[in-house]
């Protein structure tokens, strides 16, 4: 059931939850006092006695055979402790490492370099500056090879083979993947009144968190113990991988993710730099710090998107959508570094059927290797749902334009209805709940949709270019059910430990890791709500493999759907134990007790009750405990999600395009999200705001492009443009609430919703604005030059 | 070479390489890690500190260029007794930060803006922080945080532990009183009650 709640007023937004000291609600963040004092502790803030610094030499070219690497001058440079090459790593069996998609990736290149920016050698020195200086002294001779830059030509018969390291590999084919029923879809298309097709390119972009990637590796040769502080969104999975790669026993590895300066998926993979720093520490017996610079971050770490798509939509002439058919060419770069569950090489692209009730759908995808940086799932994409939503939402708006129908009303007429849930899509996903029409109607109400359309008509008469774009989406988050989803064989579950101290204060230990999402607050609220303890009395421990239970980490908006469920259930386990102790304290049967937030009461006798704090003291106190109770109020759990959760949203964007300069200005952006039960509305809105800015960046500014030689053209923040306060509007947010039926508290996750949903709303708005020019399609990023050329009738080819 | 400067009110003298960046001097030599580093091209602003009374990008200033100047970092934003600057309070109340990486730079710029323009409008706030990037918040809450600080210039500050930090440079300290700068002491002098 969906309830439509009004967004809080600006005044209310400023108020912390003094009124709601326990549980869910707007509450100021527990982590902020340290951050506003400059006392956050990020990886680069870690300083250990005797610590050395590492820098990495990277390939200046996209594709070349390595003829020789001469490190003698670098080794002789003052302050240099070690120079490591691929050859040296190969001698230890460490030159290659597995990626998260069962491919392999070079740690340091031995045979060839396969993208510009690839790691070739590294220097460990006394300070950052000496390490950098020594890089200049390494002499590498390259035998340049022709690069594969355009994915469309990667499978040409005469294309150079990039991955000749793979046995028998004679082409650049990475994988093929399909979803849905091709024959059934073709049959629906054959009979449809209307078929509209659209080429859609989602260019390569980069998450570019403000903190780049890095680590401090500290190997203690006496204990045989490795401690690694690293910018990792998944410390437990990383630890297991290091154990497998480096052959170190897993119990002797401790991975610590301290405060992280933004992740957005960029900090999910293991990068060669981490492995090199570990090797550097093994070699020198000293702690080694590696922090990449911004151009290293942009040119070599996990990119996102890079899908070249063709979509077709079949409908009746009055606008009933019948089927979708799509073909995708996916550019995976030089190594398949996608961080998605292994059975999902295309991530969750299979949800490209969106929020619509369809008869059939089919997708075929071909993925290729190119001479570009590896990656593929990053930047808050929910495992490729960003690409899927962008495709279907562009198609549906295009269909509305072709039919002369309003794009919002066409959507309302085609949504899956609330009574159809759980809803099985033609590509095999089972959506849990939602009331998509209610969400869109709320967005239309906030936006004043009909007034906007009237205003647009008036402005059009005056020659002004105002556009209104609509995008509605269904997300699939909280990966995932163990039987379908794993990463390198590790099931995607999360553990949670809860300990209640004798005085009733608690500490909860999580397997997920915050990169700014506010876990120390949200998880304290989840446990607080379940136990009736103030969140201020609950400490949240995360990001340290020695001090937290195993789990797969934070990405794909999975923290609340998976770890949040674990936190609620572990608290309920504690409560069950507390009930037994309370029954002894009150001398009644456990079943005669009622839980009233924070205490157990004798049913029908509210005068007789004990608080959770009193029970905690009793659980640790002297004297007999009830039969079967060992003492303490601790519990541990591993949560295996039975299904994904499916948040949804409806976004409306208003743009003005300057007819003289083709500059696009986002005048308004209305985002209504339904992420089920809302734990901390302030944090949720913050997540939505951030995702909207990401979406605006991708729609209007951000692209990692390459020249024909494979040189990266987005290697600095001067070239890779990220929105500032000047381009972004004052976001307008609203919400509906449809709890997930299978999540213990009904929460669905929200971290990526806005990144997933917003680009299509902005692009649809610009296309709508340019309707007088007969423009029906435009590819991101909608820079002034790209829009201008389209207005002149000579659109720039996409990427 | 030797450099001498005042950092958060305390004089420091150090031997440095001539090419050492101020951001590295503050972080690595003085241990003031509240100032961050986020790019190679002076675009991100995570490194903003004050040189004398002007916000500067400390990645674009050599330690040598700061010789003889007054530097103020995020560790010197709160009062010596730990009472937060209204800007710090505003960022906490209005959710102006998520990962916190851009936050010190944003707050230093905001403080400088408010000292010059106590009641900026939204456009002025957006212009003031336009040389800085936040990847998490989408900026609207940062704007609100600065507005909150403007509206609570003389109160609502939260007391807290003194931000004692590396080498005692972590707070403005008494020594800062000697520095003729517009850091808002007058306002703090009357601050005290919490809202
Ligand atoms: S570090 Fe990016 S502007 Fe200074
Ligand atoms: S809060 Fe993360 S970059 Fe601004």
Residue A682 and residue A692 in contact, taking contact as beta carbons nearer than 8 Å = no
Take residue A300 and report the two structure tokens written for it. Answer: 């070599």
Q: Is residue A289 part of a domain?
A: yes
Q: Do A32 and B144 touch (CB under 8 A)?
A: no
Are A357 and A415 contacting, i.e. CB atoms less than 8 angstroms apart? Answer: yes
Asked if A618 and A666 sit in the same domain, the reply is no
The first and second tokens of residue A223, run together, are: 């204990």
Mutate to test the pocket of ligand 2, among A262, A297, A690, A693 (most ligand atoms within 8 A of CB): A262
Q: For the purposes of burial, counting CB atoms within 10 Å of the CB of A381, is it exposed (0-12), middle (13-18) or buried (19 or more)?
A: buried
Whether the CB-CB separation of A258 and A41 falls below 8 Å is answered with yes
Q: In whole numbers, what is the pLDDT of chain B averaged over residues?
A: 85
The region, left, alpha or beta by phi > 0 then psi within -120 to 50, assigned to residue A218 is beta
Count how many domains chain A has. Answer: 3
B61 Cβ inside 6 Å of ligand 1: no
Q: Give the domain extent around A600.
A: 493-639
Mean pLDDT of B75-96: 96
Residues A549 and A440 in one domain: no
Report chain B residues whose CB lies below 8 A from the CB of A728: 138-140
Query: Which of B39, B45, B46, B100 is the pocket-test mutation for ligand 2 (most atoms within 8 Å of CB)?
Result: B100
Mean pLDDT of A516-534: 96
Query: Which one of A610, A639, A668 terminates a domain?
Result: A639
pLDDT tens figures, A424-453: 999 999 999 999 999 999 999 999 999 999
- Most ligand 2 atoms within 8 A of CB, residue of A40, A210, A267, A380 to mutate: A210
Q: How far apart are CA A472 and CA A408, in angstroms?
A: 9
Residues A465 and A593 in one domain: no
> Is residue A364 within 8 angstroms of chain B, CB to CB?
no
Whether residue A737 sits in one domain with residue A673? yes
Position A161 in a domain: no
Instruction: Say if CB A474 and CB A775 are below 8 A apart.
Output: no
- pLDDT tens-digit readout, B113-145: 999 999 999 999 999 999 999 999 999 999 999
- Identify whether residues A116 and A247 lie together within a single domain: yes
Same domain as A635, residue A693: no
Nearest ligand, CA A262: 2
Indicate if A561 and A458 belong to the same structural domain.
no
Pick the ligand that lies closest to the CA of residue A293.
1
Which of A259, A262, A294 lies nearest to residue B135, judging by beta carbons?
A262
Q: Is the pLDDT of residue A10 over 60?
A: no
Judged by CB atoms closer than 8 Å, whether chains meet at B101 and A262 is answered as yes
Structural domain contains residue A485? no
CB contact under 8 A, B141 and A686: yes
Residue A634 sits in the same domain as residue A701: no
SS3 category, B153:
coil
A212 at B interface, C-beta within 8 A? yes
A323: helix, strand or coil = strand
Interface contact flag, B135 A264, Cβ < 8 Å: yes
Q: Tens digit of pLDDT for each residue in A353-386?
A: 999 999 999 999 999 999 999 987 777 888 999 9
In the 8-state DSSP scheme, what is residue B10?
E
A136 lies within 8 A of chain B by CB: no
Instruction: Give the tens place of pLDDT for each residue, A227-261.
Output: 999 999 999 999 999 998 888 899 999 999 999 99
Indicate if the alpha-carbon torsion angle A408, A413, A417, A418 is positive or negative: positive
Identify all chain A residues contacting B88, using CB atoms and an 8 Å cutoff. Answer: 36-37
pTM of the model: 0.94
Hey, of A210, A554, A750, which one would you mutate to test binding to chain B, going by the most B CBs within 10 A of its CB? A210
Taken as a whole, chain B contains a residue count of: 195
Ligand nearest the Cα atom of residue B133? 2
Chain B positions in Cβ-Cβ contact with residue A126 (cut-off 8 Å): none
Contact, A343 vs A101, CB < 8 A? no
Over 60: is that where the pLDDT of A501 sits?
yes
CA dihedral sign of residues A28, A30, A36, A37:
positive
First to last CA, chain B: 49
Which of A32, A38, A515 has its CB closest to that of B73?
A: A38
Residue A781 lies in a domain: yes
Question: A19-63: per-residue pLDDT in tens?
Answer: 445 688 999 999 999 999 999 999 999 999 999 999 999 999 999
Of A623, A639, A655, which residue constitutes the final position of a domain? A639
User: Could you tell me if A96 and A241 lie in one domain?
Assistant: yes
Among chain B residues, CA nearest to A212? B38
Closest CA to A443 of A473, A475, A464: A473
* Structure confidence at residue A380 (pLDDT): 84
How many whole angstroms from A212 Cα to the centroid of ligand 2? 12
Separation between Cα atoms, residue A263 and residue B91, nearest integer Å: 21
| Cβ neighbours, 10 Å, residue A435 | 24
Structure tokens at A419: 């009574």
State the CATH number of the domain containing residue A610: 3.30.365.10
Cis bond before residue A422 (omega within 30° of 0): yes
In a domain, residue A483? The reply is no
What is the atom index within ligand 1 of the atom nearest the CA of B131? 3
Is B73 touching ligand 2 by the criterion CB < 6 Å? no
Which of A611, A639, A667 corresponds to the end of one domain? Answer: A639
Q: Does A671 touch chain B (CB under 8 A)?
A: no
Structure-block tokens of residue A176: 């093929």
Does residue A24 sit within a domain? no
Q: Among A123-137, A701-715, B130-144, B176-190, where is mean pLDDT lowest?
A: B176-190
CA dist A299 and A266 (Å) reads: 12
pLDDT of the residue at B157: 52
Instruction: Give the other-Cβ count within 10 Å of A413's Cβ.
Output: 14
A262 lines ligand 2 (CB under 6 A): yes
Alpha carbon separation from A155 to A158, A170, A572 (Å, rounded): 8, 10, 55
| Cβ(B47) – ligand 1 distance below 6 Å | yes
Nearest CA in chain A to B36: A211
pLDDT tens sequence across A150-198: 999 999 999 999 999 999 999 999 999 999 999 999 999 999 999 999 9
In this predicted complex, what is the ipTM? 0.96
Number of Cα atoms under 13 Å in the Cβ half of residue A757: 34
Q: Is the peptide bond before A744 cis (omega within 30 degrees of 0)?
A: no
Name the residue among A10, A127, A690 with its Cβ closest to that of B98: A690
Contacts 24+ apart (CB under 8 A), A582-590: A582/A610, A582/A615, A583/A626, A584/A625, A584/A626, A585/A610, A585/A614, A585/A615, A585/A618, A586/A610
Ligand 1 binding pocket includes B139 (Cβ within 6 Å): no
Task: Please report whether residue A352 resides in a domain.
Answer: no
Cβ–ligand 2 contact at B106 (below 6 Å): no
Same domain, yes or no: A751 and A663: yes
The answer to whether residues A678 and A740 belong to one domain is: yes
CATH code at position A125:
3.90.1170.50
Together in a domain, A659 and A752: yes
Q: pLDDT tens for residues A114-131?
A: 999 999 999 999 999 999
Q: Is a pLDDT exceeding 60 seen at residue B46?
A: yes
> Does position A586 have pLDDT exceeding 60, yes or no?
yes
In a domain, A482, yes or no: no
Are the beta carbons of B92 and A40 separated by less than 8 Å? Answer: no
pLDDT over 70, % of chain A = 97
Whether the Cβ atoms of residue A257 and residue A231 lie closer than 8 Å to each other: yes
Residue A14 and residue B87: Cα distance in Å, rounded? 14
Q: Is A31 on the interface with B (CB under 8 A)?
A: yes
Helix (H) / strand (E) containing A668: strand A664-674
Coil, helix or strand for A538? strand
From the CA of A5, how many Å to the nearest CA of chain B?
Answer: 21
Cβ separation A717–B136 shorter than 8 A:
no
Quote the pLDDT of residue A100.
Answer: 87
Mean pLDDT over A533-562 rounds to 94
Q: What is the 3-state secondary structure (H, E, C) of A131-163?
A: HHHHHCCCEEEEEECCCCCCHHHCCCCCCCCCC
- Strand A664-674, strand A732-737: pairing: parallel
Query: Strands, DSSP E only, in A145-287?
Result: 173-180, 194-205, 214-220, 225-230, 253-256
Q: Give contacts of A 282-301 with B, CB under 8 A.
A: 293-295
């Amino acid at each position: 059931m969906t309830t439509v709640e009004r967004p809080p007023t600006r005044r209310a937004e400023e108020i912390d939850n003094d009124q709601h000291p326990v549980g869910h609600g707007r509450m100021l963040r527990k982590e902020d006092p340290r951050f506003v004092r400059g006392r956050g502790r990020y990886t680069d803030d870690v300083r250990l006695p005797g610590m050395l610094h590492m820098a990495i030499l990277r390939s200046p070219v996209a594709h070349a055979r390595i003829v020789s690497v001469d490190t003698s001058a670098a080794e002789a440079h003052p302050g240099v402790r070690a120079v490591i090459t691929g050859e040296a790593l190969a001698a230890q069996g460490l030159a290659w490492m597995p990626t998260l998609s069962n491919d392999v990736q070079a740690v340091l290149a031995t045979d060839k370099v396969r993208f510009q920016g690839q790691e070739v050698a590294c220097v460990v020195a006394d300070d950052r500056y000496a390490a950098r200086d020594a890089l200049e002294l390494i002499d590498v001779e390259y035998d340049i090879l022709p690069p594969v830059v355009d994915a469309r030509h990667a499978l040409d018969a005469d294309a150079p083979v990039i991955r000749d390291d793979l046995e028998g590999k004679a082409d650049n084919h990475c994988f093929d993947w399909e979803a849905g029923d091709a024959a059934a879809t073709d049959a629906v298309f054959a009979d449809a009144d209307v078929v509209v097709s659209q080429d859609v390119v989602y260019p390569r972009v980069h998450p570019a968190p403000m903190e780049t990637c890095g680590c401090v590796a500290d190997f203690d040769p006496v204990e045989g113990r490795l401690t690694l502080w690293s910018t990792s969104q998944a410390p437990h999975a990383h630890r297991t991988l290091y154990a497998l790669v480096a052959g170190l026993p897993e119990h002797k590895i401790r991975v610590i993710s301290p405060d992280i300066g933004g992740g957005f998926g960029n900090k999910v993979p293991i990068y060669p730099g981490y492995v090199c720093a570990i090797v550097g520490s093994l070699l020198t017996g000293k702690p080694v710090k590696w922090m990449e610079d911004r151009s290293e971050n942009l040119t070599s770490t996990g990119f996102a998107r890079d899908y070249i798509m063709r979509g077709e939509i079949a409908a009746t002439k009055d606008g009933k959508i019948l089927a979708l058919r799509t073909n995708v060419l996916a550019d995976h770069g030089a190594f398949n570094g996608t961080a998605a569950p292994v059975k999902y090489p295309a991530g969750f692209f299979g949800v490209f059927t969106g929020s619509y009730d369809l008869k059939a759908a089919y997708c075929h995808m071909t993925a290729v290797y190119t001479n570009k940086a590896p990656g593929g799932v990053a930047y808050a994409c929910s495992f490729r749902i960003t690409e899927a939503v962008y495709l279907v939402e562009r198609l549906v708006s295009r269909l509305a334009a072709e039919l002369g129908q309003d794009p919002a009303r066409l959507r309302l007429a085609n949504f899956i209805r609330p009574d159809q849930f759980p809803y099985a899509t033609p590509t095999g996903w089972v959506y849990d709940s939602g009331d998509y029409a209610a969400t869109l109607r709320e967005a239309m109400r906030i936006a004043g949709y009909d007034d906007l359309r009237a205003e647009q008509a008036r402005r059009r008469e005056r020659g002004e270019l105002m556009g209104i774009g609509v995008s509605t989406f269904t997300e699939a988050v909280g990966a995932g059910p163990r039987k379908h989803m794993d990463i390198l064989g590790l099931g995607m579950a999360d553990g949670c430990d809860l300990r209640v101290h004798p005085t009733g204060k608690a500490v909860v230990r999580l397997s997920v890791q915050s990169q700014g999402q506010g876990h120390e607050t949200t998880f304290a609220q989840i446990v607080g709500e379940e136990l009736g303890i103030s969140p201020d009395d609950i400490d949240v421990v995360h990001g340290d493999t020695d001090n937290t239970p195993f789990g797969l980490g934070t990405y794909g908006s999975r923290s609340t759907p998976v770890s949040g469920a674990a936190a609620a259930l572990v608290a309920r386990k504690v409560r069950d134990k507390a009930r037994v102790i309370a029954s002894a304290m009150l001398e009644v049967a456990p079943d005669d007790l009622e839980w009233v937030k924070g205490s157990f009461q004798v049913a029908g006798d509210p005068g007789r009750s004990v608080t959770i704090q009193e029970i905690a003291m009793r659980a640790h106190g002297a004297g007999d405990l009830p039969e079967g109770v060992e003492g303490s109020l601790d519990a541990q759990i591993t949560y295996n999600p039975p299904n994904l959760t499916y948040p949804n949203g409806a976004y409306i964007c208003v743009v003005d395009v300057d007819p003289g300069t083709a500059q696009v200005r986002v005048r308004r952006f209305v985002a209504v999200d339904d992420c089920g039960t809302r734990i901390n509305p302030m944090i949720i809105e913050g997540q939505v705001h951030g995702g909207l800015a990401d979406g605006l960046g991708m729609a209007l500014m951000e692209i990692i492009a390459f020249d024909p030689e494979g040189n990266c053209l987005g290697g600095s923040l001067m070239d890779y443009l990220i929105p500032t306060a000047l381009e972004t509007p004052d976001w307008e947010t609203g919400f509906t609430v449809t709890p997930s039926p299978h999540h213990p508290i009904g929460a669905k996750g929200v971290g990526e919703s806005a990144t997933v949903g917003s680009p299509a709303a902005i692009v649809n708005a610009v296309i709508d604005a340019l309707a007088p020019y007969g423009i029906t399609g435009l590819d991101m990023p909608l820079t002034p030059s790209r829009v201008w050329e389209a207005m002149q009738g000579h659109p720039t080819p996409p990427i | 070479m030797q450099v001498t400067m005042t950092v958060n009110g305390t004089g420091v003298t150090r031997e440095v390489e001539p090419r050492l960046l101020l951001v590295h001097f503050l972080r690595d030599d003085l241990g003031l890690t509240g100032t961050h580093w986020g790019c190679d091209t002076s675009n991100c602003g995570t490194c903003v500190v004050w040189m004398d009374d002007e916000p500067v990008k400390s990645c674009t200033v050599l330690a040598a260029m700061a010789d003889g100047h007054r530097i103020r970092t995020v560790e010197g934003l709160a009062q010596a007794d730990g009472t937060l600057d209204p800007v710090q309070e505003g960022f906490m109340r209005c959710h102006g930060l998520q990962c916190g990486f851009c936050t010190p730079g944003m707050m230093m710029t905001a403080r400088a803006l408010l000292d010059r323009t106590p009641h900026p409008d939204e456009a002025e706030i957006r212009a003031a922080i336009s040389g800085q990037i936040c990847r998490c918040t989408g900026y609207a809450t940062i704007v609100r945080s600065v507005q909150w600080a403007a509206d609570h210039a003389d109160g609502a500050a939260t007391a807290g532990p003194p931000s004692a930090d590396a080498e005692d440079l972590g707070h403005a300290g008494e020594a800062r009183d000697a520095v003729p700068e517009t850091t808002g002491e007058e306002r703090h002098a009357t601050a005290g009650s919490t809202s």
